Structure 1
Amino acid sequence: MKQIKYLFIFLGMALFAACSDSDVGGLTGDANQANFSATIGELQTRVTNNSWDAGDAIGIYAINAGNPLSDATIFDEKSNVKYTTTGDGTFTPVGAPINFPETGELDFVSYYPYNAAITDFKYTIDVSSQSNLAAIDLLYSDNAKGESKDINDVDLDFNHALSKLVFSVELASDIASLEGLTASINDIIVDGEFALTDGTVAIGTTKKNITPNVSVAADNQSAMATAIVVPGQNLQAIEIVFTLGERRFVWTPNAQQLDPSMKYVYNLILTLDSSGMPSIVPIKATISDWVDGYIGEDYVDLLPEREQGELITIDELLALYANSGQDTWTITNPSQLKAVVTSDRVASNSTSPKNGYMQDEAGGVLAFRVDEEWHEFDMGDEITIDLADAVLSKYGGATQLGFSTARAKVGDTDIVIEPQTLTIEEILDGYYDATLVKIENVQFEKYENLTYFSEGDKSITDRILIDTSGNTIILGTSINATFKDEFLPKGKGDIVGIMSVFFGKWQLNIRNLDDVQMSDDESTRFAPPSLVTDIESAIISKEAGSQSIVVASNVEWTATTTASWLSVNPASGNNDATITLSATANDAKEARIAEVTITAPNNDNLPPIVVTITQRGTNDGTKDNPYTTAEATSFQGEKGVWVQGYIVGSIVNNKYVFSADGATNTNIIIANNADETDQNNVVPVQLPAGALRNELNLQANTDMYKVEVIIKGDLDAYFGTAGLRNAKEYELVTTEP
């Protein structure tokens, strides 16, 4: 089946003259047919792939614009109108189509898969059967608002309404094959209602065991189990069971609330414990928008008493881990580790109560994560850990030690570990994961009316600390932190915290508010290095003239350009200034472009500012002097202008196709060069329904490939880039490629 991301729904326009709704005019005819394009939200795909299958059906509600979905606001009785597709991206009505009014506007609410038995605008959810995931992958769209017959193209943006669970299963060395693997998700709620009026899910009460889709790789060494489930429930209330032959691998995830339109991916390893019993090792869990945030899971095991070994340091332990050559290494030799807890479980500035940090007497530092649901190790506790069967692993680039609290004993308490004083620059240039540090003379970059944690974030809020040199570092606060609702200090001062790294991103984590030794007096704030301009680009006339750039700065700066037709004055400064750019006349047909680069040579933390200057040529966008595609890119916003270029392809499923083969009929791309294959050098052209589309689209007119044309339309963004929309007229410049 042809892969699609964009699909086109043609809502036929009946030749009626009037309708019953008092606030809109009569209905238009087929000449004003509307074209509806629908996407399944950016970075989101169907459960199977990003294709629509033959027979897929959606329901559409037409609403008088500006009103909520209700019986009273339905336009022309167009409620739950069924549209289906053959799989080629075109949707057609099963019965009477939705007709636009002659005057007035409509909003649209739509959903997938179609259900004729919709009552009170509520969609009944039932995910008890997972045999056909596409059939239960509820999608919802309510973005199309204020649409009318005057705008031919209407976008429907669908989003997933339920939650998706994915279990990626791998084998440990003690299991030979996953052939015959089955899975079950037990005691999970399978019903609910989805309100089409506002896109919310009301979870039901029926609990069942469901069978997710299991796909085993050809080599039987890995497998994937996938399920679509009802959001609003917590994973800690369910049980995951994998069955391999006569062995049952049972696992209950940590607490994790399921949110709509989110995907939860767990990487699991099936293994046998030391007694030969089946065990599941959760390595990593990923939450994404069906963009990625991560949570961690480690092996939970009840261990018998073991022989205690010699005491080793954290650095010695890390050296053994490095020499093992393994990403996940289980310690087999009897040994012990003694260290002081540096994190504060009471203030809870962590994504999980399982997590913590420690430092030993030799100064070695390490993150830890207990097997149980939480630990009770307080800041300042000295703990001795029996390392037999403890696990060292990498998580987001950081090393962490996993162990059972039953293997750790608390000795002395209230031991104070002094932080290491470092600058932001030293921290970012070195490697200080799990290190307790102190940074002096910093302030929050933004602070007004801001608390440590923002309620709009899912688990962690990043705030930016800045020093007098302009170096910055992230301060992270968890949703679990007891101080999350406290306001940020307004002034400058010192701050203490534990450094952590996550896939190359460094952040400082304060343990409690005692770590923040900063003034709340705004007058103590310093002015960090700054370099900004009032414009990023400018268009100047073809005649000789000037353009000003206002520079706001408190550092030394320089301004340069490589264009011989443009001069810069002054070319340097120390503070605020106005730069005057002087351009000679441009007698050429095409516009010319220059870049003015403004840099702070003595401050690497301030990135260069590039101001683009476009000087018009004699081309003015008229039919006699059409713009080139390069000029069309520069002069976005102009209406009713002519652009000249070669037809070099079209955009299909958000991909640039430089060919007539596999083309769509709704757009073309044009370029200055007939052999162009770089998408940065083309302009996408929207082809509204009608004669122009019929005559120019490459799907029906392959002979138009590489033909030179001039097209009249509006220079406006299309497919997220500089484009030509609402094409109205065209003429051929060449008749053959």
Structure 2
Amino acid sequence: MRRNILKAAGCILFAALWACNGLKIVPGPNGTLIVDVAVETPFGVRTRSASLDNYVFLLIKQGGDTLYNSTVEAITGSALSLEPGYYVIEVFNETFTVPAFDKPYYYCRDTAAVVGGESCKVFLVCKQVNAGVRVVFSEAFSVQHASYSINISGTGGSLNYDSTSEDRWGYFFPGQINLTLTADGSSSDPVERQIQEKYMYTFLVEESGGTQDNVEPVITVSVDTTRSWITSLWNDTGGTVRGLTKETAYTIAQASTLEGGLNDIWVCGYIVGCYSSNGSFLYEGSNSATNLALADTNSYIEKPMSYPVELPLGAIRDALNVVDHPDYIHTKVWIKGKTNASYFGLPGMKSPKEYSW
């Protein structure tokens, strides 16, 4: 008899615990809720990104009670039995409360109406709701100053950028940020900028400030996520510059005006030859596998109108060199790499990372 009573008590306790998760069977017909979640990390951003399975899943009943606090993995493929009513679903990768490096914040929210005896299906797409910022210091600026950094402050806090953080993205809440440049112990007046969610901003710090402002923001779409990629001078509040994407690649004439030391810049031009080891320009030459000569035209040019691109040992050299591929002469190509102030006596590019036809 005692064992039966304990069993009955255990069943009551189990039912109570089950009810706390919002999955109990109650008098009257329940409805079922099926949730599917998707997220897409945009191409090209080096960040620490948790698996979608580890995203936090919250199910909140109308009135504010959290019925379910788990992970996307735990609810995937499950039909949740719920009392009829309205429920708020929230999914996010991790909490984001202050500016931080390597913390893109993906979030989605929807409301589901559960009807007794029926099945409700909800599909959510998590999208980035903070803004990414990185700072690139040109080679000329780095040589000119022994010490330098930029402090960027925004809602909730600030981040400090220096020569060690050029490959890192910091993330901020949308809205106003203030940039303060410090070089050799002297600080500039703060510069105000406005940033938007899903935008990825690269701020260039140059000694002369000579980069031209001549291109509209480019929208890069990757499946369900849209991001706008913008490069601009850190203290230029009026616009943006080209070169961050293939679609906004610099022409050879434009690329030849850039300072050295700018990372991840796209240029486009016709392959018109190569250069000898002593720096002589070889129009239509296919004598060297270590470099390319690009130009804005595939007609005859002199050396000053050409743009040298280094081809270091590896896959890009194998793919592009004119010794193995002489038929590439007069073919247009897009290449991303690091600008160099003087390569064979001309502005050019070294350390290429990507190419496209």
Q: TM over 0.5: same fold?
A: no
More helix by share: 2
TM-score by length of 2: 0.43
Larger gyration radius, structure 1 or structure 2: 1
